[in-house]
Structure 1
Amino acid sequence: MHTRPSPRRRTSHRTPDARPRTTARLLAPLLAAAASALLVTACSPGAPPTSTVGTVDAALAALPRSTPSTLTSYYAQRPNWRSCGVTGFQCATLRAPLDYTKPGSGDVRLAVARKKATGKARPLGSLLVNPGGPGGSAVGYLQQYAGIGYPADVRARYDMVAVDPRGVARSEPVECLDGRRMDAYARTDLTPDDAKERDALVAADKRFAESCGAHSARLLRHVSTVEAARDMDIVRAALGDRKLNYVGASYGTFLGATYAGLFPGRVGRMVLDGAMDPTLGARELNLDQTAGFEMAFQAFAKNCVRHSDCPLGGKGTTPARVGDHLRAFFRELDAHPLPAGDADGRKLGEALATTGVIAAMYDEGTWGHLRAALASAMKEKDGAALLALADSYYDRDASGHYSNLMMANAAVNCLDLPPAFTSPEQVEKALPRFEKTSPVFGEGLAWASLNCAYWPVKATGEPHRIEARGAAPIVVIGTTRDPATPYRWAQSLSRQLSSGRLLTYAGDGHTAYGRGSACIDSAINTYLLHGTPPTEGKRCS
């Protein structure tokens, strides 16, 4: 999804423990009833054009097979590995050109980490992992989860490797607001009641964008997904691998698919879990995610009322009525924020409470925690637990420091696609559609979609198909009730890819591999270890 939950800003895989964290996954770490998400077919009057699945003519073109001489020095690098941070892990730094159209005019430093294969059998090379975002630290994900939590058989045969994409975490991070100003940004009211509140929201988005432009001017034009994918090919060469083996979750699927489109002949064993659809424009992505989070909330609501501690209604209460109760609670917080026992004096207002609820929608394993947090806020007037959920989403620590997750997230999203809206008037025209799509979250997610309107750098990307003709089989995993990356996105991406194989998980939550399905895990482990992809149309539950 995104900074202030505007849907598409932050999509990322959650680790299986389902604790509400964010970058070891964004989500993944960050980390409902109907199986299909809203199909978007039209725009509101006055909106910038967006693309609909099946109507996008442009396809990502593959780069030449041979490496240009201007890039030889980058491809000839060899990492100088050193021990780092966590026992058993090694780190190195590689260079990539800041601007691929002008190699030699400046470099970007890329942070790379690995954990060597643990087994004695013939190694299978490197397996790159990415948890999503954009903005999630792949290095952090490797050290906190993938390097120790992936199946032992996979870790025995592969060197587990991660690279933080340019602008993220250890790879020359995009910088914008300091902690105090991020606190103010995170609590900005996303459901303005009048012109004054609307102007305050617009001003907050402008301050965020201007701050990013002031502090990261050198990077902002060069943090696109295409550039990050090209960086991965430099990493592949530096590791000595002929082909790239890769597991990407959530936004990591877009990064992996982009790599496949650019370098189809260099694709090894590739898994794209919780897929994004590159043919969609920003508004369509946001509307689809709005529908996804509403679907997840409906599933949560049905589950909540079965428990005696549900503060939103008892047994027999309909999901719609549960939503009414939650919206009423949000309205109360808008007028009277709750104390949260925060050392910096922050209170729980409507915006942060909404973020906390959305954070818990990524994984059904967090629903019990959300029930308790809502009960504490609604009955005991203590907002601490919901505020902690919101902090996990924003990747804010107890000292008030934010990682650059949300800053990189906006920088990549605003460069990859033209903005969903270019003015508050366009948002207002689209509000009825967003609110119909999600009575609970629609209004806030519509206004949050305005964030790229004031970005200091013009978007360089457009919606497009990715075909990757000539690539080895690519496994695309879709979860039928995934709130952040709706199932139809996986269906679309698997159809676009000339060698795509769709693997379906019939269930809830964001992403599927490593989240408890023996059927999914067995199919992916077999593919990674033996190169045999799942049969076309395989479903797991």
Structure 2
Amino acid sequence: MRAVRSTRVLSAMAAAAALLLAGCSSGGGASDSSVRGAQQGRPATALEPLPAAIPANLSAYYAQKLSWQACDQGFECATFKVPLDYANPAGGDLTLSAVRKPAGGAAQGSLLVNPGGPGGSAIDYLEGSIDSFDPGLRAAYHLVGLDPRGVGRSSPVACLSGPQMDAYTATDMTPDNLGEINALVAADKNYAAACEMQSGSFLGHVSTAESARDMDVLRALVGDSRLNFLGKSYGTFLGATYAGLFPSRVGRMVLDGAIDPSLDSLAGNQTQAGGFEVAWADFAKDCVTHQDCPLGRTEQQAGQGIDALLKQIHDQPLNTDSGRKLTESLATAGVIEAMYADYLWPSLRSALTSAKAGDGSALLKLADAYYERSPDGSYANLMFANTAINCLDLPAPFSSPEDVERAMPAFQKASPHFGRDMAWMALSCAYWPYKATGTPHTIRAAGAPPIVVVGTTRDPATPYVWAQALAGQLESSRLLTYDGDGHTAYQRHNACIDNAVNAYLLAGTAPNPGTRCAK
């Protein structure tokens, strides 16, 4: 449970793996922990655009020729080079990987997609969700998935082995005494040390700003004068960063499940905790209307029931059919996983019923989906990249356990059920081996064409207020609101949202200001 996650629960690949990822809250910013705000009371500065002309020392990267090769069931794959450090292009290269689904008709260019994370694989997302894209879009665009630096197939960050990650995710995230606090700190320090050992100085070059610059290289290599982009969750921060750096090269851009770049990591994590509390309240309200709800018949009983169950699991972890124990931290991750989409609520009711009967298997499967753990015990690099990117993008919210304890009342006020977990989760970046290179900032993207920002009113991972904030910063924004539950809105079977986004991507017709869609 480390940061605002990607939207994999919304794609076919998520279903195939067992379910979504996205991230809850990471140590550094807010996952989707890649959130930001006025750092320590200082006003957030504006992100300034880069010079419009391509620097001479980067011209060789922009002059590469892509060689698309058939791969992966009708997709084409390619790799290309980018500098490890844009400030020193002569210092070495990185190899990035992309896939595309060629347009089914006369192409009007490429549409780059990113599912979020940070750490979600755009390649896996596109390959797994291709059928969910509107037929008109598939005909009009080459759909392209680029794994950002450090992610998936693009020089992935590596940290812990499968068994080591099992132990880390099972660590108590609500320590009650000094011994438990010390165990959590030791786990976070060990995690950071393992990442440094496995990935080295590369950890200092996986920032969102660098990935946005990588996208501009790819834009040029696919032959587009402007970047067309669909970003979800953390992908909205990636896309907005691109717009801020290259406003004159923005094409049609949709940012769904927006992150507010002006928040510091402390404010972001607290706000996200509140988002999950809102989602929990909606789950509880729905749960008590079903006969199979194991938590009671009123919303108050449901809240008391989940607290009691998690306390019971803390004291006595549950057996599972995998032989692993379901600890409180894993149980909480399973609950949070189900907050990402209301279609997961029946699965959560069933899992909680089994847990109350002493079987933690179903809740553990939800937690494994959150962490992208495969049945063979291996993990995708999602959480490793998530931490590395978040810790680089923003200064850590806490430097010590004492800081966490001082902030605890605010977290628990924002989220009585998840605040303690999310406050302690935010400690991990305190021990990261590389200092943050990013700071909170606003993004204007002055001169860019209309940018569509999509916000869901009861989104747990990227609260609606973030969409409102980002739309308020972007000079050309159009805020499209979905009055509903779950993380992100586009491609989630709401015709109003889908039609509005598709009309914009296909014809450039941006939604009217104030457009609102309901369930």
TM-score of the pair, normalised by structure 1: 0.91
Give CA-to-partner distance per residue, 1:450-490, whole Å, 9 cap, x none. 01000000000000000001111100001111110011101
Structure 1 vs Structure 2: percent identity of aligned residues? 55
Farther off after superposition, 14-23 or 151-160: 14-23
Q: Does 1:15 align with 2:10?
A: yes
Q: What is the Cα deviation at residue 10 of structure 1?
A: 2.4
Change (3 A) 1:268 1:22: farther
> Take 1:23 and 1:238, find their aligned partners in 2: how far apart are those partners?
35
Selected match of 1:397 from 361, 374, 380:
374
Q: Does 1:290 align with 2:273?
A: yes
For 1:173-252, what aligned pairs fall within 5 Å after superposition? 173-252=156-235
8 Å contact from structure 2 (residues 112, 228) kept in 1: yes
8 Å contact from structure 1 (residues 14, 28) kept in 2: no
Q: Does 1:49 align with 2:40?
A: yes
Q: Match of 1:125?
A: 109
8 Å contact from structure 1 (residues 337, 349) kept in 2: yes
Q: Match of 2:78?
A: 92
Q: Does 1:105 align with 2:91?
A: yes
8 Å contact from structure 1 (residues 467, 497) kept in 2: yes
Change (3 A) 1:175 1:19: closer
Q: What is the Cα deviation at residue 23 of structure 1?
A: 11
8 Å contact from structure 1 (residues 13, 28) kept in 2: no
> Take 2:37 and 2:225, find their aligned partners in 1: how far apart are those partners?
44
Q: What is the Cα deviation at residue 25 of structure 1?
A: 5.3
Q: What is the Cα deviation at residue 249 of structure 1?
A: 0.2
Q: Does 1:274 align with 2:257?
A: yes
Q: Secondary structure of 1:261's match?
A: helix
Give CA-to-partner distance per residue, 1:151-196, whole Å, 9 cap, x none. 0111010000011000001000000111010000000001111100
> Take 1:88 and 1:411, find their aligned partners in 2: how far apart are those partners?
32
Q: Which runs of 4+ in 1 moved over 2 A?
A: 8-14, 16-29, 40-43
Change (3 A) 1:24 1:263: farther
Change (3 A) 1:132 1:455: same
Give CA-to-partner distance per residue, 1:46-72, whole Å, 9 cap, x none. xx7156xxx42x111111111011001
> Take 2:442 and 2:502, find their aligned partners in 1: how far apart are those partners?
28
Change (3 A) 1:397 1:16: closer
What one-letter code is carried by the residue in structure 1 that aligns with 2:194?
A: S
Selected match of 2:291 from 288, 305, 308:
308
Q: What is the Cα deviation at residue 516 of structure 1?
A: 1.3
Q: What is the Cα deviation at residue 435 of structure 1?
A: 1.2
8 Å contact from structure 1 (residues 249, 275) kept in 2: yes
Selected match of 1:320 from 297, 300, 306:
300
Selected match of 2:325 from 336, 344, 347:
347
8 Å contact from structure 2 (residues 5, 23) kept in 1: no
Q: Match of 1:427?
A: 404
Q: Secondary structure of 1:338's match?
A: coil
Q: Secondary structure of 2:442's match?
A: coil
Q: Match of 2:152?
A: 169
What one-letter code is carried by the residue in structure 2 that aligns with 1:123?
A: A
TM-score of the pair, normalised by structure 2: 0.95
Q: Match of 2:49?
A: 62
Q: What is the Cα deviation at residue 321 of structure 1?
A: 2.5
Q: Does 1:74 align with 2:54?
A: no
> Take 1:445 and 1:465, find their aligned partners in 2: how far apart are those partners?
25
> Take 1:252 and 1:41, find their aligned partners in 2: how far apart are those partners?
15
> Take 2:388 and 2:12, find their aligned partners in 1: how far apart are those partners?
29
8 Å contact from structure 2 (residues 37, 261) kept in 1: no
Change (3 A) 1:41 1:359: closer
Q: Secondary structure of 1:268's match?
A: strand
For 1:443-458, what aligned pairs fall within 5 Å after superposition? 443-458=420-435
Change (3 A) 1:516 1:41: closer
8 Å contact from structure 1 (residues 25, 141) kept in 2: no
Q: Secondary structure of 2:205's match?
A: coil
Selected match of 1:363 from 338, 341, 350:
341
Change (3 A) 1:486 1:410: same
For 1:499-514, what aligned pairs fall within 5 Å after superposition? 499-514=476-491
Q: What is the Cα deviation at residue 27 of structure 1?
A: 2.7
Change (3 A) 1:22 1:496: farther
Change (3 A) 1:326 1:28: closer
8 Å contact from structure 2 (residues 36, 265) kept in 1: no
What one-letter code is carried by the residue in structure 2 that aligns with 1:370?
A: L
What one-letter code is carried by the residue in structure 2 that aligns with 1:167?
A: G
Q: CA RMSD in A?
A: 2.0
Q: Match of 1:142?
A: 126
8 Å contact from structure 2 (residues 36, 440) kept in 1: no
> Take 2:214 and 2:470, find their aligned partners in 1: how far apart are those partners?
22
